[in-house]
Structure 1
Amino acid sequence: MLRNNTALWRRLGASAGAAAVLAPLAVLGPGAASAQAAPARCTATAGPYQKQAEAFLGRRVDGRQSVGDCEAIRTFQRQHAVYPALGYAGPLTWSMMRLVTQQRAALHHPNSDGRCPVNRGRIACVDLTRQISWVQDGRRLVREPVPVRTGRDGYETRTGPHRVYWRHKNHVSTLYDVPMPYSQFFDGGQAFHAISGNVWSQPGSHGCVNMRPGDAAAYWRLLRTGDDVYVYGRKPGT
């Protein structure tokens, strides 16, 4: 019955599937298998964002690809699930570098624009645009911003005010039969929870806020049932 009711599916199931960790190939997106099987050697070609990548990585900015440049770019690509990881400074790599730059800039003052309402006690803020989340208690920053992976196009993490209404430390998705450690549900089937994959991988979840295991464990210790959650912004690509 759920499969024939799109609205109910999205609210109760898809987000729990958002919560669900996708199989590796689905997490990485189309073509990931062939990308991972690509030759190990670096590309000798300078990409359209070569200078920007060099500056971001602290390399000499000359717009010319060197072995060192390529290896540095490849390391970044592997760490942030950009495939194929051949050291080519293309648009996907530069887009990820810009996102990481935003995340780094938010480290100590994530709510400088005042978009997350932090005048109501403890609250977990989720910024879809920058793909980060943090916890505040009034003006005090309790947990600095951490990278997250939110809902993909068509399964967006729902914006607005929410509250943690159910917590299950060792939850398993009933839809996907996949572990969802440290699950804290705040809207329908949408929850904070840990994944074993890469939080930077695309295209995203089915609505949940995916976190690295250590970050999800920290949220589990910090939040309680009834605590506020506020989601705002728009995930790139949705």
Structure 2
Amino acid sequence: MGDVRRRGAVALGITGLVAPLALVLGTAPAQAASCTTQTGPYQKKVEKFLGRPVDGVQSSGDCKAVRAFQNKHGITPNVGYAGPVTWGVMDLMLKQRAVGNKPNKAGKCPVNKGRIACVNLTLQLSWIQDGSRLVYGPVPVRTGRDGYETRTGLKKIYWRNIDHVSSIYDVPMPYSQFFDGGQAFHSAGVSMWNPPGSRGCVNMTKATAKKYWSLLKKGDDVFVYGRKPGT
């Protein structure tokens, strides 16, 4: 591939490895320095998810547990408030767990292409299958945020670069496998549940990106479908 095509790929598919934008969560306090005493609209659901006593009333222990979850996944403000963004991440996790080892149960990803990498934007999951046989996954991924959506449809891996670095933002994109106008699978050093998402690429943990690198090759099919929550 020529340099022009490579530069074009980089320009179109850089992921958002930057600090997440501040999200205003209802009536949560603006300061991130202290733990809030306010009860959030999703208090009971968040308490249940975290294994806390489910009484629907914010406590010091609740706040610390929620805040630890927010810090782990880059959710801001990280004040321990059980708001819609925090619950949205937890709800997505629950839906991902419910899939189990049958990510293509609905038959949305083609089974007549041989080996193919599938990306379900709605559930933020990806896996590799060969026909109807599951080869690897499903694993959580982080796809394009609002305005930078990962494009849907049937594609092919057209360029791979194990040590790729963005020439625009000067950020590493290890194990890059480009499949659509610069959008690629690659490793990212953030939580896969970190809102609001990438700038179009399909982010993966390092372990997942390495596995995809070993299982896929140039010319392999990729199928992206669904719609990421919030886009």
TM-score range, shorter chain: 0.7 to 0.9
- Please list every run of 5 or more consecutive structure 2 residues that lacks an aligned counterpart in the other structure: none
Alpha-carbon displacement from aligned partner over 1:126-170 (angstroms, at most 9, x marks no partner):
011111111112222211122211112222111000111111100
Partners of 1:36 and 1:171 in 2: CA distance: 38
Alpha-carbon displacement from aligned partner over 1:66-92 (angstroms, at most 9, x marks no partner):
222222212221222211222111111
- Pairs aligned (count): 221
- Please list every run of 5 or more consecutive structure 1 residues that lacks an aligned counterpart in the other structure: 1-7
Alpha-carbon displacement from aligned partner over 1:4-47 (angstroms, at most 9, x marks no partner):
xxxx9xx74543323xx53x33xx11479xx99822x4322221
| Mapped contact 1:14–1:155 kept (Cα < 8 A) | no
2:122 to 129, 142, 160: 129
TM-score (norm 2): 0.87
Instruction: Give the deviation of 1:232 after TM superposition.
Output: 0.2
RMSD, aligned CA? 2.3
Mapped pair 1:90 → 2:87:
no
Amino acid at match of 2:79: L
Instruction: Give the deviation of 1:219 after TM superposition.
Output: 0.7
Moved more, 70-79 or 83-92: 70-79
In structure 1, the residue corresponding to 2:13 is in which secondary structure?
helix
User: Which residue in the other structure is 1:4 paired with?
Assistant: none
Mapped pair 1:71 → 2:37:
no
For residues 49-198 of structure 1, the aligned pairs below 5 Å read: 49-198=42-191
Greater helix fraction, Structure 1 or Structure 2: 1
Larger RCO, structure (CA 8 Å, separation 6 or more): 1
User: Which residue in the other structure is 1:38 paired with?
Assistant: 32
TM-score (norm 1): 0.85
31 and 49 in structure 1: CA distance in 2 versus 1, 3 angstrom threshold = closer
